Every structure is written in structure tokens, then in C-alpha cells.
């Protein structure tokens, strides 16, 4: 039945393309999922797993129609992969892990992939510096965002005891999110940073006396044993990911706009820059400064606000007024959130 559905999907895709119609029908797909969930409820089936199954089936059919390529900060088992799967599972995408955030940018800029998924902000540790810096010069747009609730575990090779851990590896943000655990439970161990939590787990599996801070998915993928779970300082730990590309994701929900600007060194410059938003009651959801590269003690500001900076008149007017007050303004894109927030188990 699955094979038959794929063949029908292929033919339907070819027909729509020949008539220059959009292949994807997101409204119809949501109706299919909703009908399936009602049936699952009647039969006493797990609704969350049923939803995952239906969306994966939709993705298989979409992949047969036209393959979408998506890159994420790897290796496999990273939280970035979780975000990529959440955003593009039902698109039938081909997923490509990349060794660094800059590699994700390069792959998307060169056209080797359609979208790149990168972490941009954590609810505990704030902005991801590498992503924010790369956004200043990239030609890519922010096409959507994904949020993933983070649950961090201490993972080691099977047989290693907690008291025998000599070194802990992880991404700097994950290490910072587990300060209390490291200071009180593993206060004398060496700390080493890695490019991602998944890379840390993969590396720890090859080292004697090593443990890594990462996800349950990474532990399962690389054959690790979980020595402790939920070790982050705060349980309400969420990471936000940007989806980078050149084409807006129309199925995304809500509207938000991200911009970058640089100010003159004059009193009240930031106040004046933000005044157009306050005057129109546009809510700012994030403001963060980053050092301007190559210019000591000069800064650029990253701002997110609610509203569509490409389609809403009030937002467009605020941006036009802002242009007159800043030295540099870059509109990264107007976008929405893909799916609902999911939680690592």
C-alpha cells in the first residue's frame, strides 16, 4: 500500500509540474494527519507516534516527487538534526550533516543544499556567536525557525562508572548549561569543548575515562551508556534554530522579522533607532549586540520583532524610518515557526 501510494504521488507530482502548479498541498496534508489522529484515538493508538508515522509517510511521498536537500550541524544525533527533522521530515528531505556552522552556511550559499539549519539562541546561554557573526555577511535569508526543548545527559562507554570519569566533552553551550552538575558531581574532571554535542558523544566513545554531555538520541546512535540524565541547570531549556535559504517557508506559523544594524556613536542612538517600533507598538522579542569584526569597541545589533517586515505596512514603515537613523541595516528575513515545540526524551 505504501509503494502504491508513492507511485500515485509521483504521477500527481508530474501532473502538477506540467501544469505549473505547486506540488505541495499543506492544507490537504494537515487534513490527512488530523483524520488519522481521530482514527488513532478511536482505536486507542498512541497519537504522538501516529502523527510521526503519518508525517514520515507524507515525507516519503514528497521525496519521491522532488528531493529537498537540508544541511545541519552534525554529526548525526545532534540537536540540530532534531531541529532539521522536525522542520523537514514530512518534506521527504535528504539530510546532510556538516562539521561546523560555517560549513552549513557555505553549503546553502553555494546552492549545494536548499536549506541549512543552525542554532541561533539558547534560552539559558543566549545567542550563538558564530551564527550571529556569519549572518552579518551572508546572502542567505532566514526562512523559518524551529525550537527544540533540550534534555542533556552524561554519556560514556558502557561499563565506565561515574566516579571513574576523567574528562567531559561537549559543545561550549551545553557545558555552560550544566555548570551545577559539573561543579558538584564532577568538580575535578577536565573539560574539553567540541563542535557539537553529537561530536562529543562520538569522540567520547573512543577515549578511556571520557564522558560527553549530549542527547539520548546521540547515546543510542553511538552506543553510549547514560550515566546521568536531565543534568542541565534549568529544566526549561530551549534552543532556537534558524532555517537558512533563499525561499520563504510559507507553511510556517506566525510572523517574525530579524534585522541587523549598526549605530553612530552619538548619545541616545539606540533609543532613537528603536523609537519607530515603539511608536507603532511593534514588540521586540530579542535585542543583542555583537562586536563588529575588525573594528575594536564597535558593535552591531541583532533585533527580532513580531510582525512581517516584508508584508505588514506598519513593520515596513518602521524599517524605512530605521534606515534614516543607522549606519547599516540588513533585513535577514520575515518568517514563522515550523511546527510546535518538541521535547527531547
Query: In this structure, are residues 174 and 214 in contact, taking their beta carbons and an 8 Å threshold?
Result: yes
Please count the CA atoms within 13 angstroms of the CA of 72 that sit on its side-chain side. 29
- The C-alpha torsion from 157 through 162 and 166 to 171, rounded to 10°, is 70
- Residue 62, all three cell numbers: 514528497
- Angstrom distances, CA of residue 216 to CA of 96, 164, 238: 20, 21, 16
Which of 95, 241, 277, 305 is an active site residue?
241
C-alpha distance across the termini of the chain, in Å: 31
Say how far apart CA 60 and CA 258 lie, in whole Å. 32
212: exposed, middle or buried (C-beta count within 10 Å: 0-12, 13-18, 19+)? buried
Bridge partners, 69 (sequence order) = 94
DSSP single-letter state for residue 264: -
Classified as helix, coil or strand, 320 is helix
- 341 belongs to the catalytic site: no
- 239 belongs to the catalytic site: yes
Active site residues: 239, 241
Amino acid at each position: 500500500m505504501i509503494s502504491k501510494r508513492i507511485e500515485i504521488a509521483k504521477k500527481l507530482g508530474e501532473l502538477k509540474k506540467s501544469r505549473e502548479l505547486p506540488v505541495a498541498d499543506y492544507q490537504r496534508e494537515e487534513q490527512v494527519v488530523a483524520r488519522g489522529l481521530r482514527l488513532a484515538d478511536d482505536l486507542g493508538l498512541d497519537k504522538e507516534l501516529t502523527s510521526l508515522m503519518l508525517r514520515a509517510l507524507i515525507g516519503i511521498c514528497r521525496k519521491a516527487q522532488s528531493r529537498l536537500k537540508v544541511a545541519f550541524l552534525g554529526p548525526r544525533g545532534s540537536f540540530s538534526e532534531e531541529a532539521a527533522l522536525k522542520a523537514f521530515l514530512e518534506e521527504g528531505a535528504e539530510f546532510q550533516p556538516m562539521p561546523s556552522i560555517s560549513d552549513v552556511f557555505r553549503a546553502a550559499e553555494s546552492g549545494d543544499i536548499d536549506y541549512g539549519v543552525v542554532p541561533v539562541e539558547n534560552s539559558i546561554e543566549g545567542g550563538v556567536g558564530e551564527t550571529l557573526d556569519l549572518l552579518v555577511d551572508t546572502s542567505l535569508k532566514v526562512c523559518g525557525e524551529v525550537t527544540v526543548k533540550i534534555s542533556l545527559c552524561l554519556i560514556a562507554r558502557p561499563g565506565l562508572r561515574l566516579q571513574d570519569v576523567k574528562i567531559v566533552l561537549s559543545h561550549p553551550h551545553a557545558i555552560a548549561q550544566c555548570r551545577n552538575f559539573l561543579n558538584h558531581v564532577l568538580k575535578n574532571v577536565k573539560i574539553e569543548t567540541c563542535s557539537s554535542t553529537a561530536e562529543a558523544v562520538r569522540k567520547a566513545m573512543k577515549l578511556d575515562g571520557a564522558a560527553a554531555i549530549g542527547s539520548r538520541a546521540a547515546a543510542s546512535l553511538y552506543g553510549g551508556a547514560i550515566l546521568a540524565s536531565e543534568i542541565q541547570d534549568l529544566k526549561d531549556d530551549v534552543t532556537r534554530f534558524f532555517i537558512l535559504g533563499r525561499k520563504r517557508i510559507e507553511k510556517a506559523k506566525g510572523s517574525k522579522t530579524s534585522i541587523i544594524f549598526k549605530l553612530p556613536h552619538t548619545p541616545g542612538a539606540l533609543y532613537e533607532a528603536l523609537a519607530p517600533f515603539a511608536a507603532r507598538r511593534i514588540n521586540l522579542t530579542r535585542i543583542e549586540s555583537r562586536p563588529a569584526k575588525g573594528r575594536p569597541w564597535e558593535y552591531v545589533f541583532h533585533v527580532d520583532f513580531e510582525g512581517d517586515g516584508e508584508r505588514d505596512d506598519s513593520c515596513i514603515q518602521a524599517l524605512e524610518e530605521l534606515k534614516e537613523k543607522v549606519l547599516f541595516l540588513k533585513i535577514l528575513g520575515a518568517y514563522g515557526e515550523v511546527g510546535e515545540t518538541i521535547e527531547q526524551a
